[in-house]
Amino acid sequence: MKSLSMEEGSCVNLIEKVFATICGISSKSAFGRKHKGQLEAIMSVFEMISNSAKQVYVCQLFPSWKWLHVITGISRRTHEMCREVDLVLENIINGEEGKEEEEEENCLLSTLLNMKDQGDLTINQVKAVMLDMITAGIDTPPTTIEWAMAEMKNPRVMEKAKEEVRQVFRSKGYFNENVLEKLKYLKAIIKETLRLHPPAPFMAPRECSQICDISGYTIPAGTQVLVNVWAIGRDSNYWGTSAEEFVPERFLNSPIDYKGSYFEYIPFGFGKRICPGMLFGVAIVELVLANLLCHFDWELPCGTTSQTLDMTEYISSTLRMKNNLILVPISYNCVT
Nearer Cβ to ligand HEM (137/329): 137
SS3 per residue for the chain: CHHHCCCCCCCEEHHHHHHHHHHHHHHHHHHHHHHHHHHHHHHHHHHHHHHHHHCCCHHHHCHHHCHHHHHCCHHHHHHHHHHHHHHHHHHHHHHHHCCCHHHCCCCHHHHHHHHHHCCCCCHHHHHHHHHHHHHHHCCHHHHHHHHHHHHCCCHHHHHHHHHHHHHHHHHHCCCCHHHHCCCHHHHHHHHHHHHHCCCCCCCCCEECCCCEEECCEEECCCCEECCCHHHHHCCHHHHHHHCCCCCHHHHCCCCCCCCCCCCCCCCCCCHHHCCCCHHHHHHHHHHHHHHHHHHEEEECCCCCCCCCCCCCEEECCCEEECCCCEEEEEECCCCC
- Helix 123-137 to helix 35-54 angle (10° resolution) is 70
* Binding to ligand HEM in span 157-196, by CB under 6 A: 194
Shortest distance (Å) from residue 285 CB to ligand HEM:
6
Q: Is 204 in the site for ligand HEM (CB under 6 A)?
A: yes
Among 27, 140, 193, 317, interactor with ligand HEM by CB under 6 A: 140
Nearer Cβ to ligand HEM (148/158): 148
Q: Is 276 in the site for ligand HEM (CB under 6 A)?
A: yes
Q: Is 46 in the site for ligand HEM (CB under 6 A)?
A: no
Shortest distance (Å) from residue 60 CB to ligand HEM:
17
Can you tell me the distance from the alpha carbon of 139 to that of 142, in angstroms, rounded to the nearest whole number? 6
Q: Is 230 in the site for ligand HEM (CB under 6 A)?
A: no
Among 76, 170, 273, 322, interactor with ligand HEM by CB under 6 A: 273
Shortest distance (Å) from residue 15 CB to ligand HEM:
13
Q: Is 38 in the site for ligand HEM (CB under 6 A)?
A: no
Q: Is 203 in the site for ligand HEM (CB under 6 A)?
A: yes
Q: Which stretch binds ligand HEM (CB under 6 A): 80-88, 95-103, 263-271, 294-302?
A: 263-271
User: At 331, phi and psi to the nearest 5?
Assistant: -55, 145
Q: Is 267 in the site for ligand HEM (CB under 6 A)?
A: yes
Say whether 275 counts as a known binding-site residue: yes
Can you tell me the distance from the alpha carbon of 284 to that of 290, in angstroms, rounded to the nearest whole number? 10
Shortest distance (Å) from residue 23 CB to ligand HEM:
11
Neighbours of 52 (CB within 10 A): 16
Q: Is 233 in the site for ligand HEM (CB under 6 A)?
A: no
* Binding to ligand HEM in span 102-131, by CB under 6 A: none
Q: Is 144 in the site for ligand HEM (CB under 6 A)?
A: yes
Q: Is 133 in the site for ligand HEM (CB under 6 A)?
A: yes
The vertex-184 CA angle with 183 and 185, nearest 5°, equals: 95
Q: Is 274 in the site for ligand HEM (CB under 6 A)?
A: yes
Q: Is 277 in the site for ligand HEM (CB under 6 A)?
A: yes
Q: Is 132 in the site for ligand HEM (CB under 6 A)?
A: yes
Q: Is 265 in the site for ligand HEM (CB under 6 A)?
A: no
Q: Is 275 in the site for ligand HEM (CB under 6 A)?
A: yes
Can you tell me the distance from the alpha carbon of 319 to that of 141, in angstroms, rounded to the nearest whole number? 12
Q: Is 199 in the site for ligand HEM (CB under 6 A)?
A: yes
Q: Is 268 in the site for ligand HEM (CB under 6 A)?
A: yes
Nearer Cβ to ligand HEM (113/200): 200
| Residues tagged in the binding site annotation | 275
Residues that bind ligand HEM (CB under 6 A): 132-133, 136-137, 140-141, 144, 194, 199-200, 203-204, 267-270, 273-277, 280-281, 285
